[in-house]
Amino acid sequence: MLQLEDSKCDLLITGAGPAGLMAATWAARCGIHARIVDKRGTKIFNGQADGLQCRSLEIFDSFGFADRVCKESNHMLEICLWNPDETGRIRRTDRIPDTIPGISRFQQVVLHQGRIERFFLDSLKEYSDIEIERGVLPEQLEIDHSKAEDERAYPIKVKIRHLDDDEATPVQNGTNVPDGLFRSSLAKDDTDDLIRKSRGKEGTTEVIRTKYMIGCDGAHSWTRRQLDFHMQGEQTDFIWGVLDIIPITNFPDIRMRCAIHSAESGSIMIIPRENRLVRFYIQLNEVNSAGQQVDRSKITPEIILKAAQRIMSPYKLTYDYCDWWTAYQIGQRVGNSFSCDDRVFLAGDAVHTHSPKAGQGMNVSMQDTYNLGWKIGLVVKGLAKRSILRTYQSERRRIAQDLIAFDHRFSRLFSGRPAKDAADEAGISMAEFKDAFEKGNMFASGLAVDYGASILVAKPGDSADQGDGTDVGPIINSIDKLVGKQDLAGNIKLGMRFPSYQVLNQSDARPWHFGQYLKSDGRFRLIVLAGNLKDGKQWKRLQGFGESLAKPDSFLHRFTPSAKPVDSVIEILVIHSAPRKQVELLDLHEIFHPFDEKRGWDYEKVFVDDVSYHEGHGEAYKNFGVDKESGCVVIARPDQYVGWIGELEDVRDIDRYFSEVLIPQI
Ligand code: FAD
């Protein structure tokens, strides 16, 4: 077999599903040399995951493509609960909002995974020359552990094989209805990806030496097996029947998300989708880990439809068009470790699997690499210390554990038989189910994520818990530990994502959701809630803060390469609360609206919490829980999570925060 010349890269990603594509997107935005390989010859074109939480949409917005999702997706606003009455007939018993009102500027939407992948691919093309190398199989992984801490080393060696077309074409489910690997007649602009681009490398092998690697290669992860890491959890697997059809039915809530519990025939989750499609989820059966009890290959769309008809009776359900279906087998498990030497990482389904009914798989998988991608990007560029990489496991493994616990609780309530009356102890209380659904909505939105104390989150707590209860050492400095002042901002929580409310641009009065300015471009942000600038004392505080930041030896200058603009590592954004018309932008210290010889003043850094002409008042200070007179300062990480909160005089603490995380450039 022909062997190509050895090559080098900063980051190798195995698997181009949602987790891998998110990692590649960060690499593109941070400008590092990344390669992403997938054993499959094409992207997926329909089916698989489809729910997008509001946090995922916020993330997409920070990369600039949430608008495409919002336009094409179905927006889910209400959930209807259907339960059997005393005669056993199903009735609508409740309606609840799908997304808790007010928690985000986005609400949950549904759009199939193939389209989401499309948006990532287009974004990669726009910002980089990273292309998915399809039909590529990694065959061997070697890690030189002795070089793990050497920042310049390429300690990972991966041998890959470029497959021929037959090897790169996945096997279908054995029917003529597509199961997600072929093109939907409803999907758009995927033509380029239908035919694998031949690179003339088929049948060759290549050795890649890389600084970092992320295994995003799904539930049967090859990378995980090479590391000899394991999945821990339930030994039982469930089989889920999933049908994407255009239903012909007299069921009145077919365009609502519904959870239907029938008296004796099981339960179904209905998810109304784009293009008149509707997804039906039915838990069909349990199998043990050896897959013995049910032969998954015997399941057909007709079997899934019949189960749906029984549950939804007396309403009728048929279809003429089926877009996709699957019989998908999954357990509830979490990987025992997410990282080897903080050089090779695992993300997504490779380290957590669970049922599809809460719509979490794709979201949590993307959010794993959303947490990790910028960290690797900044370390590779020599801007941040390698120690920040240890926070990946401590932050994300706990989320995976919470997810599995949530799935456990919810599974029992979703799949159990409804109780006939209060004395029916074997049955499930429908009041309890509704309560769990409502409470679960906060978790399911992705906004409950609350990262623990670490060098990136200055909050109380001094253990470097890796998400499995083991303390692995000083990822935080426990001597004289830096702790942010949470009481200055009641609703901006240390460890949680910075919330967004409408503010106005000081220079042109245009309203913006502030979150739109927290772009995913690898920069930390110092968000200066400058308070009432009409008050002379407060004005002086802000100008004094500006002078400290502008000093040549300030953290801002020390951690920014001298040839780069002053805001290229840490961007300063100001929101003040004085009346807009009584403040002049150019009166503020120059550091808050830096000057560039070619582009003039920067007009996109100072905002005001004031009433707009056409879109009301965002009441940002009130919503942030920040005092309108005296304000505060917040450090937001490149992924928008809050790292520290303090006062305008706390420059030394800000310096300490960045000194733990960043590498001096001068
Ligand atoms: P994946 O999307 O699985 O991506 C992994 C990628 O790695 C794939 O592109 C694969 O080709 C590639 N790969 C695998 N092994 C290798 C290797 N050795 N070398 C190189 N590349 C490799 N979720 C829901 O919420 N609802 C559903 O109905 C639903 N249905 C599903 C049906 C199927 C058949 C599958 C497989 C998954 C389904 N999921 C569903 C789960 C959802 O798709 C995942 O949770 C989500 O895609 C996780 O993203 P990921 O990037 O971690 O993994």
Instruction: Quote the pTM value.
Output: 0.93
Q: How confident is the model at residue 180 (pLDDT cuts 50, 70, 90)?
A: very low
Task: Tell me: pLDDT of 2 over 90.
Answer: no
| The predicted structure's pLDDT at residue 197 | 57
Residue 356 catalytic?
yes
The Cβ of residue 387 has, within 10 Å, a number of other Cβ atoms equal to 18
Whether the pLDDT of residue 184 is over 50: the answer is: no
Residues above pLDDT 90, as percent of the chain: 75
Task: At 518, list the tokens.
Answer: 């927290």
Query: Which amino acid is residue 17, in one-letter code?
Result: G
Q: Which of 43, 196, 217 to mutate to test the pocket of ligand 1 (most atoms within 8 A of CB)?
A: 217
Distance CA 120, CA 38 (A): 15
User: 201 vs 32, which has greater pLDDT?
Assistant: 32
496 C-beta neighbours (distance < 10 Å), count:
17
pLDDT tens string 610-653: 999 999 999 999 999 999 999 999 999 999 999 999 999 999 99
Amino acid at 181: L
Q: Report which ligand 1 atom has the smallest distance to the Cα of 223.
A: 18
Question: Does residue 355 carry a pLDDT above 50?
Answer: yes
Of the residues 138, 356, 418, 499, only one is catalytic, namely 356
Ligand 1, atom 45, lies closest to the CA of 361
Confidence at residue 288, expressed as pLDDT on a 0 to 100 scale: 54
Query: In whole angstroms, how far apart are CA 38 and each of 131, 134, 364, 529?
Result: 11, 5, 20, 45
Mean pLDDT along residues 354-378: 92
Q: State pLDDT tens for residues 204-260.
A: 999 999 999 999 999 999 999 999 999 999 766 778 899 999 999 999 999 999 999
Give pLDDT, residue 192: 58
- Which ligand 1 atom is nearest residue 240's CA? 28
Ligand 1, CB within 6 Å, residue ranges: 14-20, 37-40, 48-49, 113, 137-138, 180, 216-218, 222, 242, 326, 328, 348-349, 356, 359, 361-362, 365
- Report ipTM for this prediction: 0.97
Return the residue matching tokens 């997810």: 403
- pLDDT higher at 356 or 611: 611
37-41, 365-369, 611-615, range with the lowest pLDDT: 37-41
In this structure, the number of other CB atoms found within 10 A of the CB of residue 432 comes to 13
Q: Which of 37-46, 93-102, 285-294 has the highest mean pLDDT?
A: 93-102
- Based on the residue annotation, tell me whether 421 is a catalytic residue of this protein: no
- The pLDDT value recorded for residue 415 is 77
The pair of structure tokens assigned to 148 is 């793990």
Is 138 a residue of the active site? no
- Which of residues 149 and 240 earns the better pLDDT score? 149
Task: Write b or e for each residue in 45-72: b if 16 or more Cβ atoms lie within 10 A of its Cβ, otherwise e.
Answer: bbbbbbbbbbbbbbbbbbbbbbebbbeb
Q: Judge residue 589's burial from the number of C-beta atoms within 10 Å of its C-beta, 0-12 exposed, 13-18 middle, 19 or more buried.
A: middle
Question: Residue 545 pLDDT > 80, yes or no?
Answer: yes
Q: Measured in whole angstroms, how far is the alpha carbon of residue 111 from the centre of its chain? A: 15
Q: Which of 273, 396, 397, 558 is catalytic?
A: 273
Please identify which residue in the block is written with the tokens 């001094």: 462
